[in-house]
Amino acid sequence: MHTGRRYTPLEFFRWSFRDTILLLLIATIPTVLYACGLTFIAIPWQPIAVLGTAMAFIVGFKNNASYGRIWEARQIYGAIINDSRSFAYTLRDVIHNKQPHTVQKIFYRHFAWLTALRFQLREPRSWENMRRSSNKDFLRGRYIIPECASTMEEALKPYLTEDELRYVLSKKNKATQLTAMQSQALAALRQEGLLNDFEWTTLQGSIMRLTDNQGRAERIKNFPYPRNFASVTTYLLFIFIILLPFGLLKEYSKLGDGTVLEGYTIWFNILFSAIVAWAFHILDTIGESAVNPFEGSANDIPITQISRTIEIDMRDMLDEASLPEPIVPQNNIVL
- Beta-bridged to residue 2, according to DSSP, are 333
Residue range 195-219: mean pLDDT, rounded: 93
What does the pLDDT read at residue 137? Answer: 76
Rg (CA), the chain: 27
Burial 154-170, CB ≥16 within 10 A → b, else e: ebbeebbeeebeeebee
Per DSSP, the residues of 291-307 read S-TTSS-TTS--HHHHH
Residue 260: pLDDT above 70? no
Q: How many residues does the chain have?
A: 335
| 3-class SS string, 66-90 | HHHHHHHHHHHHHHHHHHHHHHHHH
pLDDT in tens, 77-92: 999 999 999 999 999 9
**Residues contacting 237, CB < 8 A, separation 6+:** 55, 59, 280, 281, 284
Orientation angle between helical segments 162-169 and 100-121, nearest 10 degrees: 30
Which band of pLDDT confidence, cut at 50, 70 and 90, is reported for residue 147?
Answer: confident
Residue range 52-65: mean pLDDT, rounded: 88
Tell me what percent of the residues of the chain surpass a pLDDT of 90.
44
pLDDT in tens, 89-123: 999 998 877 788 899 999 999 999 999 999 999 99
CB 290 within 8 A of CB 299: yes
Estimate to the nearest angstrom the gap between the alpha carbon of 124 and the chain centroid: 12
What does the pLDDT read at residue 224? Answer: 86
Q: Is the pTM of this model over 0.95?
A: no
> What is the domain partition of the chain in residue ranges?
9-317
